[in-house]
Structure 1
Amino acid sequence: MKNNASILNKKQSFLQQIFMSPMVLCILMMILLPAVTTECSDAKYKILALQHQVFGSYTAAYKGFLKGLDDSDIRGMVSVENYNAEKNMAILEGKIKDIKEKNSFDLLFTMGTQSTKKASDIIQNIPIVFTVVGSPVNSGIISNWKSSGSNVTGIATPNQVLKGITQIYELSKFTKIGITYLKGSPSHEAVLSQIKAMCKKNGIKFIYDGFSLTKGNGDSLSNDEIRFNLKKSLDTVLPQVDAMYVQASGTYEKNFYLFRNAFKKHQTPSFGDPIYIKKGIIVGIGVNDYAFGQQAAEYAVKILKGTPPSALPMDTGTKFSILVNLEAAQMVQLDPLLLMPIMNSADAIYQKITE
């Protein structure tokens, strides 16, 4: 019995040595999670995915990016790390400076305006591919959609929000539209000016109200202060409009229950970025972040193989989604028949508010 136990222990020890070895672990990671972060010493390319906060659009884009790499011909040759600064801009800037100094990554994949702007301002020695940037021109990231003339490129759609609002207008013919926006946000303020022009052209009444996320001295507002300002802004706009558009924002996503409560209180139909479709907007219309992440991966592969970022145009994001939530419509007593033209064009129809 003792001999059998000794033999068994030796076999277990031998198997542990094999399967816990770094090389075997790397191979297993490549097989089971081929596009997820690995520390394989034999990875040919190293990519850092960079974001300044947790946000549904970034999550979708990152998943799409990993899938795009997994579907490419460099599958298993790439190590991808993800860094989230958790809204701390000082930490984000420090991380980017450290990346520049160490120069240990072959490419940066940036998600959102904040991380992309910081990275492009500081780093010129590493290629950068971005997505989920509402207005890269207005943000000062690029000046020419066809070529940045630098180490930066990405996947975006010029005037993407305006295109979505125009589609909804053509289907529903609203006469008064409202938004609340974040003052100081390049993408939100770009959308504001675009909607103003669109409403003026079509004779639509446009009601808007904005607030900042910071105090006069630059300090961030508390969560309670942000929620107070958001609720006040919604109660200012919603009584005056027959449709409300909700822009993409991590702050809005985190506090979407305030939007939902206000829509119900004022019985106002809503539409906006698709990330809110499960949270309580009636129509989600906008870019498909997952698909944009996949396209960003295609650009990353081309760059890693030698194509200069400046040779890749940035206005190539074309995949739009139209989603409908029937419970959200019922919440504001909107006649489902009025949604039929939109539902006929929808990619998916949701029955419930689930988040």
Structure 2
Amino acid sequence: MKALFLALAASVALALPAKAADVTVDVTAIVEHPALDAVRDGVKDALAEAGYKDGENLKFVYQSAQGNPATAAQIARQFIGESPDVIVPISTPSAQAVVAATHDIPVVFTAVSDPVGAQLVKSMEKPGGNVTGLSDMSPVAAHIDLIKAVLPDVKTVGFLYNSGETNSVSLLASFKKAADNAGIKVVESAATKTAEVQGAARALVGRVDAIYVPTDNTIVSALEAAVGVADEAKLPLFTADTDSVKRGAIAALGFNYYDVGKQTGEVVVRVLKGEKPGDIPVEIAKGTDLVVNKKAAEKIGLKLPEGIISGATKVIE
């Protein structure tokens, strides 16, 4: 009799619909690379720490646009059709696609250098509407100082970027200003897709003393192509993305993007608990790490100053 009761109970349980998630958070990025993946993971972990756990009371959806702006717009429309509680676009192109597609669903963007310049918000202090988020504007003046500390005689720096990415255009302007103040000339070289990165890097050979890669998703996605050119030409390659150092860059001063994700997730939690996105000031990413790659430097015959090595958060031997 007991066995029959248990069997009936089990069959009833199977027949019942699964409990729906209490909230849904949709996340999208323009492309997959270590920094943006770390942001996504940080957001998810911050939600879990606040009690929103995927598969229990949270439905966490992630999609990558694979570097295609048209796909980013398609994902944005799909997400909006699903009416999630919050959408988290990672990177400027994804954020622009989502913000252009909805004025109702809360949006918390992240890893966007210039939210005002990208026309995502009216101002950093009072974003307004259904949007807020987190800016990762790079400390470009500190990047110039880092390049000068490693290369005291530097005169020209190549800026490798995607001219079609609003984020990178804003960074170029800031970098040029900081470089000019330091008496350094900036030489631009653009790649609008990953297949063009190697050629854009080669265009800098013989014209610059070093190459600099900003937090540009196109270039970072194909970083190995740029590193290969730089190594062959014995050119130091610096980046704004600390995750790129282990991939062959000489050094980077930038954010820990997992921490950026955690910080973003905390804002998402505030929205889930009832705060209006437009009333939450856009936050600036906290903290910077200095990561250096001694092996990459030695490969091109460069010795990193001891002061740089001793001050690094992480040293790759």
Q: What's the TM-score, normalizing by structure 1?
A: 0.78
Write the deviation string for residues 206-244 of structure 1: whole angstroms up to 9, x where unpaired. Answer: 22222434xxxxxxxxx6xx34xx333222323232222
Q: 2:32 aligns with which of 42, 48, 54?
A: 54
The structural deviation recorded for 1:143 is 3.5
The structural deviation recorded for 1:165 is 1.3
| Equivalent residue number for residue 238 of structure 1 | 205
Question: Would you say 1:200 and 2:166 are equivalent positions?
Answer: no
Q: What's the TM-score, normalizing by structure 2?
A: 0.86
Q: Matched residue pairs, number? A: 308
Q: 2:302 aligns with which of 322, 334, 341?
A: 334
Question: Would you say 1:262 and 2:229 are equivalent positions?
Answer: yes
The 3 A distance-change label for structure 1 pair 201 and 77 is same
Q: Which runs of 5+ in 2 are unaligned?
A: none
| Equivalent residue number for residue 160 of structure 2 | 180
Write the deviation string for residues 313-347 of structure 1: whole angstroms up to 9, x where unpaired. Answer: 223312212111111011111123x2x22222211
Q: 1:319 aligns with which of 287, 292, 299?
A: 287
| Equivalent residue number for residue 110 of structure 1 | 89
Question: Would you say 1:83 and 2:79 are equivalent positions?
Answer: no
Asked if the contact 2:141–2:175 (Cα under 8 Å) also holds between the matched residues in 1, the reply is: no
The structural deviation recorded for 1:108 is 0.7
**1-side partners of 2:257 and 2:141: how far apart?**
16
Write the deviation string for residues 128-156 of structure 1: whole angstroms up to 9, x where unpaired. Answer: 11111232222221231112111111111
**1-side partners of 2:19 and 2:96: how far apart?**
31
The structural deviation recorded for 1:262 is 1.5
The alignment partner of 2:220 has SS state of: helix
Q: 2:19 aligns with which of 20, 27, 41?
A: 41
The alignment partner of 2:89 has SS state of: strand
The 3 A distance-change label for structure 1 pair 64 and 163 is farther
The structural deviation recorded for 1:97 is 2.6
The 3 A distance-change label for structure 1 pair 236 and 100 is closer
Higher Rg: 1
Asked if the contact 1:134–1:187 (Cα under 8 Å) also holds between the matched residues in 2, the reply is: yes
Q: Which amino acid aligns with 2:282?
A: M
Q: Which runs of 5+ in 1 are unaligned?
A: 1-9, 24-38, 214-222
**2-side partners of 1:117 and 1:155: how far apart?**
14
- Bigger CA drift: 291-300 or 256-265? 256-265
The 3 A distance-change label for structure 1 pair 90 and 184 is closer
Asked if the contact 1:156–1:292 (Cα under 8 Å) also holds between the matched residues in 2, the reply is: no
**2-side partners of 1:22 and 1:297: how far apart?**
35
The 3 A distance-change label for structure 1 pair 21 and 278 is farther
Q: 1:343 aligns with which of 282, 306, 309?
A: 309
- Bigger CA drift: 168-177 or 60-69? 168-177
Asked if the contact 2:135–2:282 (Cα under 8 Å) also holds between the matched residues in 1, the reply is: yes
Asked if the contact 2:141–2:178 (Cα under 8 Å) also holds between the matched residues in 1, the reply is: no
Write the deviation string for residues 80-125 of structure 1: whole angstroms up to 9, x where unpaired. Answer: 111223344434323323433442x111111111111011111111
| Equivalent residue number for residue 146 of structure 1 | 125
